[in-house]
Amino acid sequence: MSYTISQVAEKFDLTAHTIRYYDKEGLLPFVDRSKSGIREFSDSDLEWLKLICCLKNTGMPIKQIKQYIEWCLQGDETLEIRRQLFLDHRKEVLKHMADLRENLKLIDFKLKMYDTGCNIPVPR
């Protein structure tokens, strides 16, 4: 099946502009184009975009995502370096999640104070 950029944008809750940007940055080198130059996305392309969004949403920089895609295009000789990239990224995501949990504890503490009617002094 083939999808237009509008369909893909809607499916991933992205703008067409963002998808074009990803393409311009080299994140979508596998997407075919029609004779008139219109991007035609396949189901396989959508799986790639799903991974790109996952990596981007978990804080991986575009430059690193592009490097990963380039390694994928090089084939099996880059399997270990790709695995290491994911191990390193996983560690970063886990640290970020731990930081978020700590921040959430403080937010919950403040909410509890408001819920119990505590008067919180305003710093001056």
Structural domain spans, the chain: 5-115
Q: Whole-model pTM?
A: 0.84
Sign (positive/negative) of CA torsion 59, 62, 67, 69? positive
- CA 115 to chain centroid: 36
Q: What is the pLDDT of residues 58-101, one digit of tens each?
A: 999 999 999 999 999 999 999 999 999 999 999 999 999 999 99
DSSP string, 95-109: HHHHHHHHHHHHHHH
Helix (H) or strand (E) holding 8: helix 5-12
CATH topology (fold) of 5-115:
Multidrug-efflux Transporter Regulator; Chain: A; Domain 2 (1.10.1660)
Distances in whole angstroms, Cα of residue 118 to Cα of each of 23, 64, 107, 121, 123: 53, 47, 15, 9, 15
